Amino acid sequence: MKSTKIMLAVLATILITWCVIGLIGWMLSDLSYKECMTNGGTLFFFILFGWIPAIIVGADLDKSLE
């Protein structure tokens, strides 16, 4: 059950991070939100930096569930 909770938390963090990066890109550009979420620049930025919050949340949750 511990691994399932960590997996769900990491996936939720990844999705939230992607939405926040898309929101920031939408606010800074003339694209629609849908276009910005699938834009190559947004996806590239997400691949570079989007995994960092998920790793932090997963490691913190792993320590707290011990």
Tens digits of residue pLDDT in 7-36: 999 999 999 999 999 999 999 999 999 999
pLDDT at 56: 95
Query: How far apart are the C-alpha atoms of 49 and 45, rounded to whole Å?
Result: 6
Is 90 exceeded by the pLDDT of residue 66?
no
Q: Note whether 37 and 23 are within 8 A (CB).
A: no
Buried b (16+ CB within 10 A) or exposed e, 10-24: beebbeebeeebbee
- 22 membership: H or E segment, kind and range: helix 2-28
- In the structure, what pLDDT confidence band is assigned to residue 61 with cuts at 50, 70 and 90? very high
- Look up the pTM and report it: 0.85
